[in-house]
A and B are shown apart, each in its own frame.
Chain A
């Protein structure tokens, strides 16, 4: 048994009334990759932050080696070899990659001059040793998501980390990139580091982790060794179910099955020759052709940044420069029309990918968030706001169902339910024909909320809406959709059945020919 390099001993962390971590213990050992799973708000990220000194425990201890982490600050944790890779990248976009690596731990010559040559040489060594290639002189904003993540890991290694903590590192990666990442993490662990990964994806845990810790409501409720004595792995069969049950504290919801869909149904959403440039000569959408029939759920797969975001924005009427035609329920939508967004609301429901940026007013009440967009037209004189709010809260199981609460006080999953409720209920209640477009509908939400949102998507399709779902989570798309399309470089490059393997879809995403 190798010595533990980091140990959390019955740590509790409170935020006012809320107990985020409640007497949790965790042991990280050199050479092992540990996974931490649990619903949103279960305390996973908080536990990681306690380990990294970002937060101090209210009671209990964090030990690095044999000594307490004192003072409980990030600087001290970093000095003693603990490094955290944040869920949202902590990088300065305008900096060159190498500047981001050294920021906060800069090598200097006399007079405080930066010694980037020395730093570059050291980072190149690290890149070779760890297999984490990053173009060091490139501007960080120009890097791909995968490169930025490698940059974050390099930055932590540059500081000599012996304990590597990663908060949902694969949420933004394609399946192939995620697999590569775990390969790297395994290698880093084999060199004698301890690695801990917080994730929502159980399939990753089953495939790559040495042990798993399940958290629920701040407590550690389940632990399992996945690597058996003698070097074998625990068989995957039954493991995911076991973990799901521990995460939810009960039986998992029945798996989602898309409602039946008749091939000959009318076309609900038709996109033809949709093009969009960024105004600086770069093509974002390069002639997208797409049809979604009434009652059909079509999933859009693709590596992030291949035009999915722009496609959703163009459909929503937010890109007046878009060329091509978008037809919903037989009605041609003009992107240049005055008030293009409002003009669409009787036939088109849109959920944007970033609920904080585009979806919600976090400082406004749940009620205001649920009806914004329904107010301000002549018919709204007869609009019974309280009734609509109550219906939307109930239909989508928002918890707490309190219209007066601020949206920002809800958990991520319930915030997402608000956004989905507002978009879908408008069409469903009006029994309208039309289409729904949802981008990353369950990003960063827990299993329970995801199930509720999936059920709502199924309901929309059953009611005869054409549904387009854009998601980075292939497993989700395969479960939800009747048909998958793959986007690459602003075009639809493949149409696949949902039964296609992840590897097959992954190859289409990257433009690799089948071997």
Chain B
């Protein structure tokens, strides 16, 4: 039981939650501005791959982070341009984004590293004490620049949305684009800005995923973008609650790892592995009907 309430558990929860929370915050930014974004999975993958490729080529982890974030913002804005300017259906564009990210990273893996499964290892950031004790795990989490950036972005999101001019305009664009335009807000520009932020924040999650493993693996986002999207919906499109939902999900996954260590002998481990997913299903089933989407979600900028 002590394994459940331990520093290891806290450290693992934070480490595991970071990509989910970043993707969810990114989803909130996009959808609160009124643009349906089911392509978070693709943003995670693309940014994870780009960060590893650049870090590997330049030998600089910092440059890798920057490149990953830029790549995430860029494809997210690309999605926005397709939806807002070319009037492509947002769901179609999102699916296209996910599929091309999946295929594109595979193709690039083969082209650059001649492998179907993973990139060569990168150094990434290695700060903090070594060892597998709980306190050293936790220290490493808080010494990791990517994790710190991720936490900062996730914590800042609800404040920026609620308290700044940009946040007000993003919310207006998402709730009632016609009314926002009527008072002189350039809805298309606001939505593209929101998507750039969405992509950048989500990309931090992708970079975290890759740097945590010190390499890129094909399909390594493994559905996290979709689970984050579920968290956004369950939270009623509220950034703070979505982050809490991701933290809870991360805790369940951490619990599963901790318990699995203990139950390795029996067949219980397989069942324990299901825990986070069963929890997601349950929460979705109970919360789906009650949450309120932004009223202008998916509505074009003009009448």
Hey, which bits of chain A sit against chain B, CB under 8 A? 74-75, 78, 86, 89-95, 99, 102-106, 108, 111-114, 155
Q: Which of A78, A99, A111 contacts B184 (CB 8 A)?
A: A78
A-B contact pairs, 20 of them (CB 8 A): A74-B182, A74-B184, A90-B176, A90-B178, A90-B179, A90-B182, A91-B179, A92-B179, A94-B171, A95-B175, A102-B168, A103-B180, A104-B184, A104-B185, A105-B183, A106-B165, A106-B168, A113-B163, A113-B164, A114-B165
- A91 and B182 CA atoms in complex are apart in Å by 9
Chain B 169-189, CB-CB to A under 8 Å as 1, else 0, gives 101100110111011110000
Q: How far is the CB of A157 from chain B (nearest CB, A)?
A: 13
Q: Tell whether, in the assembled complex, residue A86 and residue B182 are in contact, meaning their CB atoms are under 8 Å apart.
A: yes
Which residues of B in the span 103-159 have a Cβ within 8 Å of any Cβ on A?
Answer: none
B168-A114 in contact (CB<8A): yes
Binding site for A on B (CB under 8 A): 163-169, 171-172, 175-176, 178-180, 182-185, 294-295
Complex Cα distance, B193 from A112, in Å, reads 14
Q: 14 extra interchain contacts, Cβ-Cβ under 8 A, other than A90-B182, A105-B183, A112-B164?
A: A74-B184, A90-B179, A92-B179, A92-B180, A93-B175, A93-B295, A94-B175, A95-B172, A104-B180, A104-B184, A104-B185, A108-B164, A108-B165, A114-B168
Give Cα A92–Cα B166 distance, bound, in whole angstroms: 15
A74-B180 Cα distance, complex, nearest whole Å = 12
Whole-angstrom distance between the Cβ of B235 and the nearest chain A Cβ: 15
Q: Which of A89, A92, A114 touches B172 (beta carbons < 8 Å)? A: A92
Would B165 and A90 count as touching, CB distance under 8 A? Answer: no
Are A93 and B185 in contact, CB atoms less than 8 angstroms apart? Answer: no
Contact between chains at A103 and B175 (CB < 8 Å): no
For B165, give its contact among A78, A91, A112 (CB under 8 Å): A112
Q: Is the CB of B166 within 8 A of A112?
A: yes
CB distance from B112 to the nearest CB of A (A): 40
Q: Which residue of B lies closest to A91 (CB)?
A: B179
Number of A-B contacts (CB under 8 A): 61
B164 close to A103 (CB less than 8 A): no
B164 with A111: CB separation less than 8 A: yes
The B interface, classified by DSSP as helix, strand, loop or mixed, is helix
Q: How far is the CB of A34 from chain B (nearest CB, A)?
A: 22
Q: Which residue of B lies closest to A111 (CB)?
A: B164
Which residues on the B side are within 8 Å of A104 (C-beta)? 169, 180, 183-185
Q: Least Cβ distance of B172 to chain A in Å?
A: 5
Smallest CB separation, B283 vs chain A (Å): 22
Tell me, in angstroms, the Cα distance from A40 to B98 when the chains sit together.
49
Given known A74-B184, A103-B180, A104-B180, contact A92–B171 (CB-CB < 8 A): yes
A433–B220 CA distance with the chains assembled, in angstroms: 70
Bound Cα distance A106, B168 (Å)? 9
Asked if residues B176 and A92 are in contact (CB atoms below 8 Å), the reply is yes
Q: State whether B164 touches A94 (Cβ < 8 A).
A: no
B163 touches A114 (CB 8 A): yes
Cα distance A74–B181 in the bound complex, in angstroms: 10
CB neighbours of B168 from chain A (8 A): 99, 102-103, 106, 114
What is the CA–CA distance of A510 and B21 in the complex, to the nearest angstrom?
Answer: 51
Q: How far is it, in angstroms, between the C-alpha of A74 and the C-alpha of B182 when the chains are bound? A: 8
Query: B171 touches which one: A95, A106, A113 (CB < 8 A)?
Result: A95
A430 to B295, CA, bound (A): 43
Rounded to whole Å, the gap between the CB of B153 and the closest CB of chain A is: 16
A73: nearest chain-B partner, CB-CB: B184
- Interchain CA distance A91-B180 in the complex, whole Å: 8
Q: Which residues of A contact B175 (CB under 8 A)?
A: 92-95
Q: CB-CB < 8 A to A86: which residues of B?
A: 182
Among candidates B163, B169, B178, B294, residue contacting A103 with C-beta atoms closer than 8 Å:
B169
Which residues in B have their C-beta under 8 angstroms from that of A112? Answer: 164-166
Specify which chain A residues have a CB less than 8 angstroms from the CB of B182 in the assembled complex. Answer: 74, 86, 90
A residues near B169, Cβ cutoff 8 Å: 103-104
Cβ of A94 and Cβ of B295 under 8 Å apart? yes
**What are the residues of chain B within 8 A of A105 when measuring CB–CB?**
183-184
- Shortest Cβ distance from residue B189 to the other chain A in the assembled complex, whole angstroms: 13
CA distance A93 to B164 in the complex (A): 19
How many Å lie between the Cα of A490 and that of B15 in the bound state?
Answer: 55
Residues of the B chain whose Cβ atoms lie less than 8 Å from the Cβ of A108: 164-165
Q: Please indicate the chain A residues that have their CB under 8 angstroms from the CB of B166 in the complex.
A: 112
Distance in angstroms from A254 CB to nearest chain B CB is 39
Q: How distant is the Cα of A104 from the Cα of B176 in the complex, in angstroms?
A: 13
Q: Once bound together, how far apart are the Cα atoms of A103 and B295, in whole Å?
A: 17
Enumerate the 7 nearest inter-chain pairs by beta-carbon distance, A residue then B residue, closest first: A104-B183, A90-B182, A90-B179, A104-B184, A106-B165, A92-B176, A112-B164
**Neighbouring A residues of B163 by C-beta, 8 Å:** 113-114
CA distance A114 to B171 in the complex (A): 14
How near does chain B come to A280, taking the closest CB pair, in angstroms? Answer: 11
Residues of B within 8 A of A113 (CB): 163-165
Interface centre among A78, A102, A113 (most CB of B within 10 A): A113
Bound Cα distance A410, B167 (Å): 40
Which residue on chain B has the smallest CB distance to residue A52? B182
User: Complex Cα distance A94/B175, Å?
Assistant: 7
Residue of B nearest to A86 (CB): B182
In the complex, chain B residues whose CB is within 8 Å of the CB of A74: 182, 184
